[in-house]
Amino acid sequence: MKKIVFFTGSLNRTGGTERVAAIIANQLSEKGFSVQFLSLYDGEHCAFPLNDDIKKDTLFEYKLVFKKHYHKVIAKLRKYIKSNNVDVLINIESMLALYSVPACLGINIRNICWEHFNFDVDLGLKLRKISRQVAAFCCDDVITLTETDKNLWLKNARCRANITAISNPASFELSQPRQSVNSKIAISAGRLTYQKGFDFLLDAWALVIKQRQDWKLRIVGSGEDEAALKAQAEKLGLTNHIEWISHVSDMKEQYQLADLYVMSSRFEGLPMVLLEAISSGLPLVSFDCKTGPKEIIDSTCGWLAKDGDISSLAEKILTAFAVFDNDEEYAKYSQAAINKCRSEFAIEPIINLWMKLLNNEK
């Protein structure tokens, strides 16, 4: 039985990366692999359900200044790999390759980098660019979320690693398609941070309500930009046209209560929120940022706005509202969203790709 360790920063985080890692780990566990999670720090609890047989370990109890303790991390990771007879180490973040590559030297182990953003996004860390070059040259495999990002790796890095594109799966069971608009609520969810572009969405919504005050925007999430975004909304006169929900335990219910999903991110890998939305039968409007949205949205289930163009985003939202005034048209878009999810993002074919890669099948 192959022993697979998913190596992450902290399993306690509540982002899309951790959510999809838990889904893939559970599926591989059910397929007969021995699966563990190893956090760099603070990883005793997972925010998402994990099978009982999946072990959780952590190298450090709390976050260290890892630049100062770099050699200590490598030594501790190397010892863990050896003592646990690990066959495959999967870095759930390209930065972790800076630890895993030296830790795996001289050990018979397969070292995989699983990229969740796109190659051009470094989140302000120059080390991330370096880590991707290290992963491309020194890891055995790099898994990207899209073919677009796979091509970015092949074009911009010296790749000795095998580069394979495997999509994230939708995390919810498929809903029944909608027959009509019910609540006239457009929903957007995620951490209230720079990446997610909620400031763009607020500016676009200010344009939308000049023509359609019958619809309301619901933003679900919390984060460091919350106060600034709420101040922006008030300044734009949106107080009565937006609902803010900081935290929910059942996100699926929020999708069911809405009629349209809108995404205004500056950059993504393959957005889990869009996959969750189409699995719930929601049509989509999104910026066409470099990777992600175009792999999910086509003209049957939604609209792509010009990347970063607020007027274009507002225009696509208004187009959607005009189409959805006809119940039959809305039902077609909802059915197309379900079909898209079933054909391209169902869990079974995606986990089969994972198994094929882990078993070295061509």
Q: How far is CA 306 from CA 204, 275, 337, in A?
A: 13, 20, 21
The pLDDT value recorded for residue 250 is 83
The pLDDT value recorded for residue 279 is 94
Confidence of residue 126 (pLDDT cuts 50, 70, 90): confident
**Rounded Cα gap, residues 170 and 271, in angstroms:** 10
The pLDDT value recorded for residue 19 is 86
Confidence of residue 255 (pLDDT cuts 50, 70, 90): very high
**Rounded Cα gap, residues 188 and 261, in angstroms:** 6
pLDDT in tens, 290-300: 888 999 999 99
Cβ atoms of 36 and 84 within 8 Å: the answer is: yes
The pLDDT value recorded for residue 15 is 76
**Rounded Cα gap, residues 188 and 170, in angstroms:** 17
The pLDDT value recorded for residue 361 is 77
What is the DSSP-derived secondary structure letter of residue 306?
A: P
| Confidence check: pLDDT of 273 > 80 | yes
Q: What is the DSSP string of 151-207?
A: HHHHHHS---SEEEE-PPPP-SPPPPPPSS--S-EEEEES-SSGGGTHHHHHHHHHH
pLDDT in tens, 41-51: 987 777 788 99
Confidence of residue 12 (pLDDT cuts 50, 70, 90): confident
The pLDDT value recorded for residue 36 is 95
Confidence of residue 362 (pLDDT cuts 50, 70, 90): low
**Residue 246 or 45, more confident:** 246
Instruction: Work out the average pLDDT over 22-28.
Output: 95
**Rounded Cα gap, residues 247 and 226, in angstroms:** 12
SS3 268: coil
Lowest mean pLDDT among 36-50, 182-196, 346-360: 36-50
Q: Where do the DSSP E strands lie in the chain? A: 3-8, 34-41, 55-60, 88-91, 110-114, 141-144, 162-165, 185-189, 216-220, 242-245, 260-263, 284-287, 302-305
Looking at the DSSP assignment, which residues form a beta bridge with residue 242?
217
pLDDT in tens, 52-78: 999 999 999 888 887 889 999 999 999
Cβ atoms of 101 and 113 within 8 Å: the answer is: no
The pLDDT value recorded for residue 43 is 72
| Confidence check: pLDDT of 178 > 70 | yes
The pLDDT value recorded for residue 18 is 86
Tokens of 234: 């008030």
- Domains, the chain, in order of start with CATH, read 3-168+347-358 (3.40.50.2000), 185-344 (3.40.50.2000)
Dihedral sign, Cα of residue 151, residue 155, residue 156, residue 162: positive
Average pLDDT of every residue of the chain = 93
Q: How far is CA 283 from CA 1, 40, 212, 245, 260, in A?
A: 42, 38, 18, 21, 5
